[in-house]
Structure 1
Amino acid sequence: MIFSQLEYMVALARERHFARAAESCSVSQPALSEGIRKLEVELDVPLIRRGNRFEGLTAEGEQIVVWARRILADRKALTEQISAMRSGVTGQLRIGSIPTASPAVTVLTAAFCAAHPLASVHVASDLRSEDVLRLLAAYEIDAGITYVDDPVPDGFRVARLYFEKYVLLTAEERGAFTGSTVGWADAAALPLCLLDRSMQGRRQVDDALRDVGLTAAPRLETDSVASLLAQMTAGPWSTIVPAAWLHVFQLPRGVRALRLVGPERQGEVGLVTLSREPETVLARALTAVARAADLTFLENPLADQL
């Protein structure tokens, strides 16, 4: 019973709404409310600030949620460990990823599923770097793929994967560019569509331009690499994307890729998991796959795209 009550608290903290929390736990709203009330009686503290609607958790309630997440994660890890001892790795691996690392995610998930046919995978691939770490700390994902250039805070393990390098995508009719490279300053002079400023991938581009004394001034911004490529099919745009994406998407007709140099900017991408002992079965299994994989091919575009 206590595990159900803890699940209700975690759901309510996440959803901030009684009905949605109950739905996420597959119980009725009265059952969820009664479960939380019983937990309050057992602990002899109020956990919820009550009114006509959900008004938030008390200080004690916030602390209970921290412990509840950890307890439920440990229970899940124990169940998975016992199952793995009997029949191999099972359960659902939950991965959170920054958008620009999606090509790496496809490689790792394919290898993971091949090695562990009884397990399944769920991927959230549109997260900011800070969201990846936040969801890991809240035990809402098992592993994250994000930038690891800056020191990752204590409490996490890092397996480095590859360096994210960048290419300019521009129309072949722009004949001013010869060869297979272009400088950042020349790229900045084009009508650009770029990722939104809130995204780490965009900040990498801004930093590279800042290194040559320039500031990005895109005419159009969007929140996904796929959208950037789609924009190029209908407008006069050029864009800057990680070279890794050219291993996933075919370039639009009449578009070519040029490696960006002067300077060659690169952001390091890695697999991040919680530093805990014992490590969960799913996190350990994915880490083993990541350490065996060679993802350095994602650092450069395909030869026929240059």
Structure 2
Amino acid sequence: MIDKLEMFIALAREKHFGRAAEDCRVTQPTLSSAIKQLEDQFGVMLVFRGSRYQGLTPEGQRVLEWARRIVGDVRSMQEDLRTARHGLSGHLRIAAIPTALSAVSELTTPFAEAHPGITFTVLSRTSIEILSLLENLEIDVGITYLDNEPLGRVTTVPLYEERYAFVTQADGPHAGKKSITWKEVADAPLCLLTPDMQNRRIVNQKMGEAGASANPTLESNSVITLFSHVRTGRWSSVMPWRLVDAFGRLDNLTAIPIVEPEAAESIGLVAAYREPHTPVLAALLAEARKVSQLLPRDKQPSA
């Protein structure tokens, strides 16, 4: 039953029989047969069929919710038994929004030191993708915004507040300024994250509140790409202070606090709500709570 439910979850995620079968490492006929067996067992149609996948039926959507819960609980039970036999070990899959990637090591490093049997995979994803990955059991935790957009039923641990700096040429038009308004930022030649990123939606919102709008001449889903373009002197950008600090010495650049209106967004750890959590996840949540007490709420570099 569990393997069939996992195939059903994969089909709902991939929305394609072939890709779902490949993800489950089975043949397409095997996956199709497993879905048909679930339908026979439950007495309902789960998938609209045609020449290709056409979505889940209403009954299929309800079964999907139960399937995620059941498969998640079984995995938790298996991990709990493994921990009882071998101690805390295993693999943690973490997805973080791009602006929080520099903070991940502040969690994984002390956790790895305390639990050397744990390995990690860290992915860069949008806030929406993180919630989808959690829902589909593809990651264990995410690091994302806790406010601004709905998270659903998750366990959260706040880590720090994201505040923003205008990163630009040290000898540019705003040289020597102690602060800058969002309206002034909007008038600069900007490179910003793409609109699918929540950080960009926050930037758009703050500029709108200031009576301006963001009109970047370059967009990217990579903060490294943005920073490399700012270094050319042709562009300026809006970046979290913590991210600016992670890039180290600014050389010919300066970072200026952005005011009017003030902006501070809560960043934290999110995990699928489940009681009890697996031993590894429970230990990670406990570590996150310790890290939260140690991290400054507004970490600004000396630019």
TM-score normalized with structure 1 length: 0.88
Q: Assess if the C-alpha contact under 8 Å between 1:136 and 1:143 holds in 2.
A: yes
Q: Distance in 2 between matches of 1:275 and 1:61?
A: 22
Deviations along 1:264-300, one digit per CA (max 9) or x if unpaired, are: 3211112122332112323212111111114634733
1:72 maps to a residue whose letter is V
Unaligned runs of 5+ in 1: none
Q: Assess if the C-alpha contact under 8 Å between 2:98 and 2:124 holds in 1.
A: yes
Deviations along 1:29-67, one digit per CA (max 9) or x if unpaired, are: 222222223323333333333333333333333322221
Alpha-carbon deviation of 1:25?
Answer: 1.0
Alpha-carbon deviation of 1:112?
Answer: 2.2
* 1:151–1:235 Cα change, 3 Å: closer
Q: Assess if the C-alpha contact under 8 Å between 1:84 and 1:90 holds in 2.
A: yes
TM-score normalized with structure 2 length: 0.89
* SS of equivalent residue, structure 2 residue 199: helix
* SS of equivalent residue, structure 2 residue 247: coil
Q: Which residue of 2 aligns with 1:11?
A: 10
Is 1:22 the counterpart of 2:21? The answer is: yes
Out of 206, 209, 233, the residue aligned to residue 207 of structure 2 is 209
* 1:179–1:89 Cα change, 3 Å: same
Deviations along 1:89-140, one digit per CA (max 9) or x if unpaired, are: 2222222222111122222122222222222222232222x33333333333
Q: Which residue of 1 aligns with 2:86?
A: 87
Alpha-carbon deviation of 1:3?
Answer: 1.3
1:292 maps to a residue whose letter is K
2:200 maps to a residue whose letter is R
Q: Which residue of 2 aligns with 1:34?
A: 33
Q: Which residue of 2 aligns with 1:300?
A: 299
Q: Distance in 1 between matches of 2:60 and 2:259?
A: 52
1:111 maps to a residue whose letter is P
Q: Which residue of 2 aligns with 1:162?
A: 160
Q: Assess if the C-alpha contact under 8 Å between 2:9 and 2:136 holds in 1.
A: no
Q: Aligned-residue CA RMSD in angstroms? A: 2.4
* SS of equivalent residue, structure 1 residue 178: coil
Q: Assess if the C-alpha contact under 8 Å between 1:229 and 1:252 holds in 2.
A: no
Q: Assess if the C-alpha contact under 8 Å between 1:89 and 1:281 holds in 2.
A: yes
* 1:275–1:44 Cα change, 3 Å: closer
Q: Which residue of 2 aligns with 1:274?
A: 272
Q: Assess if the C-alpha contact under 8 Å between 2:13 and 2:136 holds in 1.
A: no
* SS of equivalent residue, structure 1 residue 158: strand
Alpha-carbon deviation of 1:152?
Answer: 5.2
Moved over 6 A (4+): none
Q: Distance in 2 between matches of 1:55 and 1:208?
A: 40
Q: Distance in 2 between matches of 1:39 and 1:302?
A: 56
Alpha-carbon deviation of 1:154?
Answer: 5.7
Q: Distance in 2 between matches of 1:250 and 1:76?
A: 41
Alpha-carbon deviation of 1:235?
Answer: 5.3
Is 1:107 the counterpart of 2:122? The answer is: no
Across the two proteins, how many residue pairs are aligned to each other?
302
After superposing the two structures, state which structure 1 stretch, 64-73 or 276-285, moved more.
276-285
Alignment of 1:1-306 (within 5 A): 2-128=1-127, 130-150=128-148, 155-174=153-172, 176-234=174-232, 236-250=234-248, 253-293=251-291, 294=293, 296-297=295-296, 299-303=298-302, 306=303
Alpha-carbon deviation of 1:184?
Answer: 3.0
Instruction: Among all aligned residue pairs of Structure 1 and Structure 2, give the percentage whose two residues are the same amino acid.
Output: 39
* 1:207–1:289 Cα change, 3 Å: same
Q: Assess if the C-alpha contact under 8 Å between 2:68 and 2:136 holds in 1.
A: yes
